[in-house]
Structures are given as structure tokens and as C-alpha cells.
Structure 1
Amino acid sequence: MLTRIRQAPPNFLWWSVNRILFWSAAIAIRTFLLNYLDDVLGLTPAEAQAMSSRLLIVLGTGIFAIALPAGMLVDRIGRRPLLMAAGVLAAVGGAILIVGQSLAFTFVGCGLIAVGAGIYASASWALATTLIPTAEGAFYLALANSVIIVGSAGGRLGGPLIDGLNWLFGTVALGYQVVFAIATVFFAGSALTAKMITSSNRT
């Protein structure tokens, strides 16, 4: 299996890196959002839970509302440009979360991430279908799903980092800022890796 993975088309490997970066960044922000509202913004546990639910609704609604129109744009604009746009939008949203520690900035940042995620959801899988070798479709689809698992697991590794930094520096915010900064870099990195995928009339 490792031999087959090493022999995968370079474009598919770049797509895999792109998906790991974007997915792990999105999962990291979603995973620690509730704790961020409680620890940094000073909401009570009940208030943080309610606000987290609202923000997740914003994220979910944004992804759903954007995914369908983005899907219609994929064939007109191309998969790569939309992937790059998704990474940039999500990176801007992540940066807003870092610099603006308020509910208003949190909603704006999460909103931009939701828009980016909606675009990404359509463009990423559309691009994958053009990169997977037809003769080995089942293997590469399984590999693509494994990439999602890797990204999901990676996004949840920020907990010890948050706790460790906050304990080390005696603060409640630094750990979250560092994890959000890493997520922002990952979003931006996903845009760069999308650019590395060789252009064709289908991408």
C-alpha cells in the first residue's frame, strides 16, 4: 500500500496536503470555540454553550448556502481558483479571530470561515474527481477519505498546546491565539498548495 501511495500522481498528493491543511484548521477552530468563548470572552458556561450553538448554526448555514452556488461556479471558473479563494477567505476569518477578542469579531471571523468552507466543500471534491486515476478509483477514493480522518485528528491536537501555553504564561488567551494562528497559517497554506496542482482544462 505504501508503494501505491508513493506512486500516486503528484497532483493528488498536493490535493491531499491541501485537504489536510484546510480540514485540520477548520476542525481546530470548531473544536475549541466553546472553550474560547468561556475562557477568553468571559461568558458563563451556559452563555458560552448557547453562543457556541449559534455560531455553529452560522457556520453550518453559511456552508450550506455557499456550497450550492459554488458548485455551479466550479466548471466556469475552475476548481483551483475556488480552492485558493476558499483558503484566503478562511485565513482572513482566522486572523479576525486572533486580533478581535469580542463576540462581534468572532461572528465575523466565523462567518468568513463558513463562506470559505462552503466554497471549499464544492471545489475540493470536484477537483478530486479529476485527479483520481480511473483504473484505481476505489483505492484513491478510500485514500481521500483517509485524508479527511488525518485532518480531523490533527485539528484536535491543539488542546494540550492551549492548556500548556496558558499555564506556562499565566494567561487565558495566548494558547487560543497560537492555535488560531496555526489554523490561519494552515488556511493560507491550503491556498498555496492548491496553486501547486498542475492546471488543466478540468482544474
Structure 2
Amino acid sequence: MAAMFSLATFAVGLWIIVSCKTLAYVIQVMGSSGMKTIFTQDILTVQLGIGVSLLSLFFFFISLMGLYGSIYCSQFLLFMYAALILLIMLLECALFFYFTSNILEKGVEETDGQLAHALRLALRCCDRNDTMTEKNPPWSCCGTNYIKNCTQDNFFEKNCKQSMSDWLHRYETFIYGTIAATHILLSSSSLLRRASSASRSHT
């Protein structure tokens, strides 16, 4: 399953590299209002396509390593697969903690780019500050229905810092638990397979 998902993501990355205009057109035709406004042609750059492709290839080779090691009972590959899965778990938890802590400390800022728009739309929130009184506020503070005419009268009422804090209070333990359980299950099954193959080789 992970290998198939990695290949699908790799195909999307290649699509961005080869013809970002075509993908942008498909999103505009078939995507939701939020996707249309976030994934514009300016965002679908060659650099993004290369990054997505390389990342998907990395996960594909890890999945292939586990599959090959399981089929041929390679103790080295199974051990490497388990170790990499645990390292990825630590990296995912660290990245999630970094981004959420950064948002809780600073709030959602315009310098965050499309991520800021996505968070405002998902949480239906807006961090109001003094700079918004001097210029037009970000369209995501009002939602996709006010892309061209977002004003302070149409702001989302909830503050993003508070909304993010409430969201984390509700789901943080579940998210960390899911990440840990998934990766530990994968690594444990690999180590058990390695142990069983080692016992058979000694008998």
C-alpha cells in the first residue's frame, strides 16, 4: 500500500515537472474551491515537482526494501527497514511539534504563504493584527467566497492561535499515538520476520 501511494505521489511530481499548467487546469476544473485558490499555477513549480518526486522515491525504496527483505528473508534489509521506519517516526513527530509550536507562538502569518491560507480555511480563523487595518486583509481570513472583496467586516471570528490550541488539545494525543503505533507496528513486524528467518536458518 505504501509503495503504491509513493508511486502515485511520484507520478504527481512528474506531472508537475512536465506540465504544471495541465495539472493546474485539472485542479481548477475538478478541485474544490479551497484547492483551486491554494494550488494555483504559481505554486506548482518545477522545484515543487522535483521535491515531491524525490521524497516519494525515498519512501518507495524504503517500502521496497521491506517487501524484498520480507519475501527473501534478508535479515540485513529487515533490520534496516525497521531502523528507518523508527527514524522516520521521530522525524515526523519532530516536524509536527515544530510547526504546531511555531503557530502557537507566532500565529498564522502571511510569510507562511499557502500554508497560512490552508490553515485559515481549515480552522475558519484569522489572526487580526495592526497591519490589517492598513491594507486589505488576506482573502483566507474571509473564506473562498470573499477572495476579491475580503474586508474586516467579513473576517472569521475565531482567532487562529486559539483555534489551533483547541484543535491540538483535542487531537494532539491521537495524532502522536497514531504516528507511533503505525511505525512501531511496521518496525515490529519487520523485526519479528527477521527473528523468525534467523531461527529457521539456525535449525
Find the structure with the greater CA-based Rg: 2
Q: Greater relative contact order: 1 or 2 (C-alpha under 8 angstroms, separation 6 or more)? A: 1
TM-score (structure 1 length as normaliser): 0.32
TM-score (structure 2 length as normaliser): 0.32
The answer to which structure has the higher helix fraction is: 1
